[in-house]
């Protein structure tokens, strides 16, 4: 009758089989570096973009905006190339969202110049009369807090050194405060005088919005 008539042997053998199953499904994935697809063309957020993302989460923008273009003809026509899993490799937590009170933002990077965003964030109804998006003008009145940027980047393992983080923040500040910045008028229009030479929360949110989908757009454009 083989093993079926030997209860003790059967119990031991089943325990061994279950143990092997447990080890394979629980412990081996723990030793693997990541199960998330990673592609070279998707770049991690810079320190400023990451701060902007945190403000986006803090303000609950994801309650009205999704970040997933589904592979449906209507969505691809409206927003562009549908979202791929590897695009979210650096998103912890991901912000796919489920409510579309506003349009999907996964391809908004590069769609408008920064100046458009400054005006729209400060007063959405000035761009679309019927918009029910609340105004966020006060974001330009808050200096960007970068005290924890290095720590955040270390925890998220983006691989930048402390100097690189400082350089990213300094570079972005130099860009938006430069006299030749092409959205200077719109930025100065919403930013109080004393903060025009500093980075504000609105600068960071716009840096983040401009990053959304840009890697994919660059890949499509072939550079
Ligand atoms: C109450 C819902 C609501 C919230 C909260 C909200 N939005 Fe919107 N958003 C909308 C709607 C509706 C539109 C479309 C009309 C418009 O452009 O104003 C929109 C449009 C946008 C657009 C333009 C998208 C495009 O492709 O034209 C951007 C960018 C945007 N929102 C960013 C944000 C950010 C950043 C936040 C958080 C700070 C935010 N929104 C919070 C409802 C919302």
- The verdict on the CB of residue 107 being under 6 Å from ligand 1 is no
User: Using CA atoms, how far apart are residues 223 and 217, in angstroms rounded to an integer?
Assistant: 9
Q: Determine if the peptide bond prior to 93 is cis (ω within 30°).
A: yes
d(C-alpha 171, C-alpha 44), whole Å: 17
Mean pLDDT value of segment 98-107: 95
Is residue 64 predicted with pLDDT exceeding 90?
A: yes
**Looking at the predicted structure, is the pLDDT value of residue 209 above 90?**
yes
Query: Predicted confidence band at 221 (pLDDT cuts at 50, 70, 90)?
Result: confident
108 ligand 1 Cβ < 6 A:
yes
Choose which residue among 53, 63, 65 to substitute to test ligand 1 binding: the one with the highest number of ligand atoms within 8 A of its C-beta.
Answer: 65
Q: Is 65 in the pocket of ligand 1 (CB under 6 A)?
A: yes
Over residues 20-36, the pLDDT tens digits come to 999 999 888 888 877 66
Cα dist. 9→4, 14, 15, 20, 190 in Å? 9, 9, 10, 17, 77
Asked whether the predicted pLDDT for residue 219 surpasses 90, the reply is no
Instruction: Tell me the pLDDT band of 80, cut-offs 50, 70 and 90.
Output: very high
């Amino acid at each position: 009758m083989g093993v079926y008539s030997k209860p003790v042997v059967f119990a031991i053998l089943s325990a061994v089989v279950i143990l092997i199953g447990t080890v394979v499904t629980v412990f081996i994935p723990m030793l693997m570096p990541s199960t998330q697809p990673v592609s070279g063309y998707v770049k991690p957020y810079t320190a400023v973009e990451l701060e902007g993302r945190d403000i986006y989460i803090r303000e609950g923008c994801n309650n009205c905006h999704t970040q997933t273009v589904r592979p449906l003809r209507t969505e691809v026509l409206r927003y562009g190339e549908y979202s791929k899993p590897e695009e979210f490799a650096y998103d912890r937590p991901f912000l796919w969202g489920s409510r579309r009170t506003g349009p999907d933002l996964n391809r908004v990077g590069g769609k408008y110049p920064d100046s458009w965003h400054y005006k729209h964030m400060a007063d959405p109804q000035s761009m679309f009369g019927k918009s029910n998006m609340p105004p966020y003008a006060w974001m330009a009145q808050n200096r960007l807090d970068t005290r924890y940027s290095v720590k955040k980047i270390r925890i998220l393992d983006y691989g930048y050194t402390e100097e690189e983080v400082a350089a990213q923040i300094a570079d972005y500040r130099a860009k938006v405060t430069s006299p030749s910045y092409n959205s200077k008028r719109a930025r100065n229009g919403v930013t109080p005088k004393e903060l025009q030479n500093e980075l504000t929360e609105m600068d960071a949110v716009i840096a983040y919005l401009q990053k959304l989908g840009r890697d994919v757009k660059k890949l499509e454009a072939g550079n």
